[in-house]
Amino acid sequence: VGRCEQNHYFPVSDMGRNTKKQFPCSRCGKVFGYKDSLLRHIRCHTGEKPFSCPICGRQFRERGNMGQHMVIHTGEKRFSCSVCDQRFSWRNLRRHMRYHTGEKPYSCSVCGKRFSQRPNLIRHMRCHSGEKPFSCSFCDTSFAVRSALVNHMRIHTGEKPFSCLYCEKSFTQKGGLKKHMTVHTGEKPYSCPVCDKSFSQKANLTYHFSVHTGQKQFSCSVCDKRFTWQSQVKSHNKPYSCFKCGKEFGHQRSVQRHMMSHEDQKPLACPVCKKNFRCSSELEKHMRIHTGEKPFSCPVCENRFSRRESVIRHMRCHTGEKPYSCSFCLKRFRCNQYIVTHMRSHTGEKPFDCSSCGKSFCSKSKLTQHIRVHTGEKPYTCSDPFSQSNSDRTHDSPHRKETVQL
């Protein structure tokens, strides 16, 4: 039988009476045992979607896919799990049951690791292939999984979709919010097996445990220098480099700040002081410095503030509340910002890098002071200019005359 141009198939029927007929696709050569299977396959090439949802009009190549889609509108979940009573569609129930049975039918052909879901195997295979199919449209950084790209994009957009219910602080990732919530709840789920001291974060327990063992668990793969914290190794290796000039940095945000020096036209610049911002909301808050607008007021003393979070921090002056405690020395603080800076005295972390000489600092204020070494700026004046405010105070003391009553 010759090929049928209209239907894109021809049966091979001269292979014996009991042999199943074969229907090959004329476009890609794939062979099917049934004519209906070939016809469904042909729609992959033609783009035909003959089945449409009567509610939203979305079109599908197969009737079964449309039926699964309809569950979105009807909310129907006909099949229940015999273990936990959750309800699913038939396909999702089969996937869900693997969590209870431990079945992992998908295995990696390279390292043999097994997975319960095919998409998890596909993502894992990129570890071996090095494939990073998800690229950032702003800076061309690529990622192996879509979720990593979504998190990265928030660096450019400034989006922080996860907000704390207690203090309204926002985070780019759910994990950041989860860690922050322990400040308010007081939960400390990580206990030291030696002295039973508890910690709110696993990293703090790891650091504390090294006090007992004397070990520094993390080492540099190049020079074998050992560190207590993984973040210290990362900073030591300077894994982030500027793709324009090749300068290396220990932290991602440091290279992002440095990249601004290469940009000819900087987006979202303040029209008054030309400071640059990643998103319009940050620029809007900054503009209140110049306009003097203070829309938020303290209900106790009626002091006014430009930001809502400033009112929340200010209220602790009246209440005496210090909700942030150091998990190492138990010192307490009114503001999260203070405890973050304080914690670096324990961890040795120095996340602020100088874009000129690469020297690192534990706080932004220390970096700002250091930058003046390069710029020569001396913003504090007496009769002579000084680069640091404490230098001004020290210098000014000889001018003061102490009055002594006899």
Q: Rounded to 5 degrees, what are φ and ψ at 332? A: -110, 150
How do residues 167-198 score in pLDDT, each as one tens digit?
A: 767 888 888 888 888 877 778 888 888 887 88
Q: Rounded to 5 degrees, what are φ and ψ at 15? A: -110, 20
Q: Rounded to 5 degrees, what are φ and ψ at 167? A: -120, 5
3-state secondary structure of 24: strand
Class of domain 1-76: alpha beta
Which residues have CB under 8 Å from 356's CB, separation 6+? 371, 374
Instruction: Give the whole-angstrom CA distance, residue 219 versus residue 227.
Output: 6
Averaged pLDDT in 10-residue chunks for the chain of 406 residues: 44 45 82 85 85 84 79 68 77 80 88 87 88 84 85 81 77 83 80 82 74 69 69 66 74 68 65 79 83 80 81 78 77 80 82 85 86 81 56 49 38
3-state secondary structure of 51: strand
Own/partner pairs, 237-244, CB within 8 angstroms, 24+ separation: 238/358, 243/140
Closest CA to 170 of 322, 32, 336, 31: 336
Q: What is the pTM of this model?
A: 0.35
3-state secondary structure of 59: strand
pLDDT, residue 21, reads 65
3-state secondary structure of 30: coil
> Residue 47, by phi and psi: left (phi above 0), alpha (psi -120 to 50) or beta?
left
Structure tokens at 64: 């079964």
pLDDT, residue 283, reads 82
**Domain boundaries, given as residue ranges, for the chain:** 1-76
Instruction: Give the whole-angstrom CA distance, residue 364 versus residue 341.
Output: 9
Q: Is 116:99 a contact under the CB 8 Å cutoff?
A: yes
> Residue 218, by phi and psi: left (phi above 0), alpha (psi -120 to 50) or beta?
beta
| 155 sits in which H/E element | helix 146-157
| 32 sits in which H/E element | strand 31-32
Closest CA to 229 of 329, 362, 347, 345: 347
